[in-house]
Structure 1
């Protein structure tokens, strides 16, 4: 046990707010330890003062999981690459490094992470602790690519674990929400760098569900976006491609892309949804118009893998995502669509994002023991203004629970 001089390094009156600005807290003390010994001293201090600890990353979680009235720890100084092995395609990193930093480092060594989610401005420890995932029937949650890790427990001990050493600790800490200990280092399995060919095209919900099994077999990374209050779907088909060049755009093409992606797809959409907070029946028209403006024509491009995996998540939002057995996909989506259509005064934003993940053996993973479909619903907060969403959330969760969510 230390002399707790570390208490003086804790900062008071810090307010933490998550990215969506849906949850905030003011921890009793906020710490940014420089090394493992300082981190261990904070743990001892917390035990002696009967305080709980929450470790925070970049705050992208839509939940209040990081919020605490006790001690909050940021591992932003634990952001180093410790080693890389281009023969085994592995990288060893500290827990506070972000995926953005890892992607840049891997680019310079002609390696890549096999699959990514929508954003990379998140820490690697946060990614693996929360079941973060991308899409692809042959690809697991990102935690499934961790080979080994070190964590510090509440006793201050450092535990090394993997599938071969302390396997129960390892499989519990992966997707463990930080409950097992504080992750400090890990080794991640990568693969040789690759490009992705993205082909997106319009379809209907009925067609997509009818062809789903074949599409999942033929596509590396398949997902689709359904636009509620319509039958419209945007399918996004991403496949590995080699010996090709990244799509080049002229200055005028880049300006045109910015106009549609941001002037229309971001700023005008936020204004339209803000208007709809005063007259909600506008929402179905907004969903239909924006599908026609941005998603009604096929598009294609080739780019570095992480630049295709990552996705513009637009402005502040409430989100709710559950996983279900893959074979329940059509049942759940059709039930949700039917409920929206027959329920008066229910107006929901686009998209409903649907992604697919391979089963794993991680104890607390949403994909434990079953090939899974992740269905993500959303309600935006235009200019920070909250919108009614409790009835939508309740019915969605009821439908998901009934199908094993």
Structure 2
């Protein structure tokens, strides 16, 4: 298996990059094993990447990099069980099209389709709906190649502890080869958009909230079942545009929002930084309190111009060891700073204030996003953090799958 020298990796937002010594695109499990054998012989580390959408350095390495985009086949569709088994490199957008041909669909999706099956397990991709878990909760089985080249089948009934670790693996347990998803019958979404104010948003059902203009967008009904709520961003949020100046009167901001929603055109791709932290929603009013604290801080620091929206999404508790929703229903609160035309903007003060507020209310960071948390923080945040560490050390005793990001997590 030949590696490519001189490859430059950039994440989607072009905020982090790295230059791996060798870049590989294996087409099957045997070629993956050859790469791991070579890495072991040369004492190199290995990082597997997916779609590169994580706005952090979690995918960066200076050693060996593997992209599984050539391992992108659908291996089996079980119509009776409504399950599909795929190779780990398939993008969800491609998977969705194939599932539709079989009258099936994933019950919940993230914001983009250019993320791989293994990638959503790497950092815990999510969307919203309190009756839905993060996307890895839809995974019922997977195969994992460890640093030694051994292939493990993992599910609720086989290697169950490793399964609960590998469903949010941070890329540090091995190489995911195949993934089996539990699907459901294909459905249609009914979208409803309406404006509201922050003070009116108190239900833990989900919303997209703009702290500046107060625009709230809600999309109920999955498969026409009113108890299952999905929430999609308004056109402004969806297109990644932030035209309003927070110093404008609210009515002017709303006119601009309505104009963009009507026009629905993109003249230039706007990429962004973003940070997500979760708070426990078992305590009534905690989510709203966190939003009000952030709003109060912004009002007290008028020199800080914060882009909107603030995305607020809700997710069901799960048993995945490093899931931010581990053992608790949670609320994702995501702030964004746009980079119009690729230009950097000042964000550090806003970032720090946000992170301090979220830590005070019991937040856990989204693994894909930049954060300042250390091993000591994670030991406090995650009851099963040490169990995950033990599994990692057993599967990868030499640290083949570590990188600088992961060293800050585990050491």
Range into which the TM-score falls when normalised by the shorter chain = 0.7 to 0.9
Secondary structure of residue in 1 paired with 2:248: helix
Equivalent residue number for residue 322 of structure 1: 277
Counting only pairs closer than 5 Å after superposition, residues 180-329 of structure 1 correspond to structure 2 as 180-209=173-202, 212-213=203-204, 216=205, 222-228=206-212, 230=213, 232-241=214-223, 269=241, 282-285=245-248, 289-294=252-257, 315-326=270-281, 327=283, 328-329=286-287
Does structure 1 retain, via aligned residues, the 8 Å contact 2:235–2:261? no
Bigger fraction of residues in helix: 1
> Does the C-alpha gap of structure 1 residues 376 and 139 become closer, same or farther in structure 2, counting only changes over 3 Å?
same
Report the alpha carbon displacement of residue 175 of structure 1 after superposing the two structures with TM: 1.0
Superposed CA deviations along residues 289-325 of structure 1, whole A, max 9, x for unmatched, are 45333359999xxxxxxxxxxxxx9621000001110
TM score, norm. by length of structure 2:
0.80
Equivalent residue number for residue 332 of structure 1: 290
Equivalent residue number for residue 249 of structure 1: none
Superposed CA deviations along residues 46-82 of structure 1, whole A, max 9, x for unmatched, are 1111111111111111111111100000001110000
Superposed CA deviations along residues 120-176 of structure 1, whole A, max 9, x for unmatched, are 111011012211001001000010011110010001100001111101110011111
Equivalent residue number for residue 74 of structure 1: 67
Equivalent residue number for residue 12 of structure 1: 5
Report the alpha carbon displacement of residue 237 of structure 1 after superposing the two structures with TM: 2.3
- CA distance in structure 2 between the partners assigned to 1:314 and 1:337 by the alignment: 28
Question: Is 1:25 paired with 2:9?
Answer: no
- CA distance in structure 1 between the partners assigned to 2:53 and 2:251 by the alignment: 29
Specify the structure having the higher radius of gyration (Cα).
1
Does structure 2 retain, via aligned residues, the 8 Å contact 1:318–1:380? yes
Does structure 1 retain, via aligned residues, the 8 Å contact 2:235–2:260? no
Structure 1, unaligned stretches of length 5 or more? 1-5, 217-221, 244-259, 274-281, 300-312
Does structure 2 retain, via aligned residues, the 8 Å contact 1:107–1:193? yes
Counting only pairs closer than 5 Å after superposition, residues 67-216 of structure 1 correspond to structure 2 as 67-209=60-202, 212-213=203-204, 216=205
Counting only pairs closer than 5 Å after superposition, residues 60-71 of structure 1 correspond to structure 2 as 60-71=53-64
- CA distance in structure 2 between the partners assigned to 1:196 and 1:92 by the alignment: 25
Structure 2, unaligned stretches of length 5 or more? 226-233, 263-267, 364-411
- CA distance in structure 1 between the partners assigned to 2:201 and 2:260 by the alignment: 16
- CA distance in structure 1 between the partners assigned to 2:260 and 2:309 by the alignment: 17
Does structure 2 retain, via aligned residues, the 8 Å contact 1:28–1:70? yes
What is the aligned length?
347
The root-mean-square deviation of aligned C-alpha atoms, in Å, is: 2.5
Secondary structure of residue in 2 paired with 1:396: helix
TM score, norm. by length of structure 1:
0.81
Equivalent residue number for residue 341 of structure 1: 299
Secondary structure of residue in 1 paired with 2:132: coil
Report the alpha carbon displacement of residue 226 of structure 1 after superposing the two structures with TM: 1.9
- CA distance in structure 2 between the partners assigned to 1:296 and 1:402 by the alignment: 38
Report the alpha carbon displacement of residue 241 of structure 1 after superposing the two structures with TM: 4.1
Report the alpha carbon displacement of residue 396 of structure 1 after superposing the two structures with TM: 0.5
Bigger mean CA offset, 365-374 vs 171-180: 171-180
Counting only pairs closer than 5 Å after superposition, residues 352-367 of structure 1 correspond to structure 2 as 352-367=310-325
